[in-house]
Chain A
Amino acid sequence: MLEKTLEFVRNSPLLLATIKIVIVFLVLSGLVAFLVYLERKVLAFMQARLGPMRVGPWGLLQALADPIKLMLKEDIVPARADRVVFLMAPVISVVAAFAVFAVIPFAGNFYVTDVNIGLLLILGISSLGIYGIILGGWSSNSHYPLLGALRSAAQLVSYEVAAGLALVGVLLLSNSLSMVRIVESQREMGWWFVFLQPVAFVIYLIAAVAETNRSPFDLPEAESELTAGFHTEYSGFRFALFFMAEYTAMVLVSCIAVTLFFGGWLRPFPNVSWFDFLKYGPIVALLSLGGFIFWLGRRSPVRSERVFFIALSGLCVVLAALVAYSPVLEAIQGIFWFTAKILVFLYMFIWYRGTFPRYRYDQLMNVGWRRLIPLALANLIVTALFRYWLGPHAAQASAAMLLGR
């Protein structure tokens, strides 16, 4: 019975794609809710506070409580707003953010689709998200949202140029726009592109923070100047959609950075057999997570929380035992390394927010146009020259040069 069902699913490409899309959507939504909790918690620790503690043990259920609260709230439309556009704007934002994940390779054996214009498609669709911001700000028919929207439009257009130019450097090395091919070529060369294109990576990282409207470039929603920026007039679920779009965009730029610069689903040193022990990474990660939760639970003064945490750490140990079964271990290698790398990037986003003061608007524009774009152009020219001199296998050649072989 099960075999027949599996066979049927495998033979109907549309159904298979639909199942994958549903999985990606659900996991992403969960990740976004968890990310909000993580951000509040990490920021709180950086500022010597505790963060959410009331809902559930250690405030863990806060991630669930917030969406429910937002869904139950009234959906207010300002009286003089442009009604249809006002209602559409958050939907555009969310759809643009989620649609791009169709071409992200989460693992060698798990991606929705692989197209040969992958990277261009990502740049194109993700740039549509800006319409949600501009139209939302304009249709509110109010001053702060309009100012926030205009700022945001200028910022996104400026930094898109720098990010695009930085990515071309990677394309010159990989010879392909397909996301899967880009990762494969990193395996073939034996080098993550971050080591061959460090300048491009730094430019992309800065531009990515600016494009997701995150601190220290969160000028479109600078509270002290613009109340809440483009979504000032939004409430309830539509506000939640904007919120979700922002965090999904964060996950998205992390995915792009990991795929292009950090070898996607590859483990560190994918070609060196000395490092084969790294394949036990998932087990170690789960066991240490279980240990951490156990330690946390032991210290908890509330009895019910103690029981919950110890049960949770038990679950981690059971999962680790499951993962130790070798077919499972093989199957989750890609997903594990990809997720681990993404989480590092997401943590960095929170870290920036906790440590950098917000830029002034003219500083932002200066950094974008006078520093990043010329630097990206120079990087592009140097990369192209190297490729011309050393032939199509430039990366391997220069890697060999660096190693003195």
Chain B
Amino acid sequence: MRAQIAFFILSAISLISAIFVITRRNAVHSVIWLIVTLFSVGGVYLLLNAEFLFAVQVILYVGGIMVLFLFVVMLVNLDVAMNQAQFNRQWALALGTVLVLLAELGYALFQQGRRGLALPPAVPTLQSAGNTQEVGLALYRSYMLPVEIASILLLVAMIGAVIMAKRKLE
């Protein structure tokens, strides 16, 4: 019961702050609200007993990537952005996408409802040893190849960024 209340509060915060992210005129304010969104999503991970995921969310997204976002946004000329139209006029396309997504989610929920009463638990119950080890074992045993491919992709992107930056300097 308590967990449910906490879940509703956290999801309310993340949804409302996500709306603020796209409606604020000032880009820095948008970034601040995005930080709030990511943090409350981290809270939801914590409710699901995925404390490792929570820590990674805070370290990487909240503490790392969003700092760089802020960094870049501050260097951009905000006055120009202030005078531009905030939303472009593609209502029809957006509406279509939203409807498709809604239909998809509704269908999935409906199917689940027919099969059984409740959704399956998102995370299987783990031993108290903590799921840091579990995540590590899963990543480096069952999903070794995907992890390696993803890391090489990131490495390539990193080297590419460095080379592009260097070429500009020279």
Chain A residues in the interface with B (C-beta under 8 A): 82, 85, 115-117, 120-121, 123-125, 127-128, 130-131, 134-135, 138, 146, 149-150, 153-154, 156-157, 160, 177
Contact = CB atoms under 8 A, between A and B. Distances in A.
B132 A138 contact: no
Given A120-B56, A124-B63, A154-B71, 15 more contacts: A85-B28, A116-B129, A116-B132, A117-B132, A120-B52, A120-B55, A123-B55, A123-B59, A124-B55, A127-B63, A131-B35, A135-B32, A138-B28, A153-B67, A177-B130
B156 to A, nearest CB: 18
B51 A116 contact: yes
Nearest to B60: A124
A116 B130 contact: yes
B136 to A, nearest CB: 11
Contacts of B71: 134, 150, 153-154
Contact of B130 (A117, A125, A149, A150): A117
Interface in B28-60: 28-29, 32, 35, 51-52, 54-56, 58-59
Contacts of B62: 124, 127-128
Interface in B58-97: 58-59, 62-64, 67-68, 70-71, 74-75
Nearest to A88: B32
A121 B59 CA distance: 8
Residue from B29, B55, B62, B70 with most neighbouring chain A CB atoms (10 Å): B55
A84 B58 CA distance: 23
B52 A138 contact: no
The interface residues of chain B, by DSSP majority, are classed as helix
Contacts of B56: 120
A177 B29 CA distance: 35
B31 to A, nearest CB: 10
B67 to A, nearest CB: 6
A176 to B, nearest CB: 8
Given A157-B64, A157-B68, A121 B55 contact: yes
A54 B56 CA distance: 50
Contacts of A117: 51-52, 54-55, 130, 132
Closest 4 pairs (CB-CB, A-B): A127-B63, A124-B58, A120-B55, A116-B130
Contact of A146 (B68, B74, B130): B74
Q: Of A116, A123, A124, which is in contact with the most chain B CB atoms at under 10 Å from its CB?
A: A124
B16 to A, nearest CB: 16
Contact of A124 (B29, B35, B59, B67): B59
B114 to A, nearest CB: 38
Contact of B67 (A120, A134, A146, A177): A134
Contacts of B128: 116
B59 A120 contact: yes
29 contacts: A116-B128, A116-B129, A117-B54, A117-B130, A120-B55, A120-B56, A121-B55, A121-B58, A123-B59, A124-B55, A124-B58, A124-B62, A124-B63, A125-B58, A127-B59, A127-B64, A128-B58, A128-B62, A131-B35, A131-B67, A134-B70, A134-B71, A134-B74, A135-B28, A135-B70, A149-B74, A150-B74, A153-B70, A157-B64
A89 to B, nearest CB: 11
A131 B56 CA distance: 18
B47 to A, nearest CB: 15
Contacts of A150: 71, 74-75
Contacts of B130: 116-117, 177
B74 A138 contact: yes
A134 B72 CA distance: 12
Contacts of A82: 26, 28
A138 B69 CA distance: 13
A153 B54 CA distance: 23
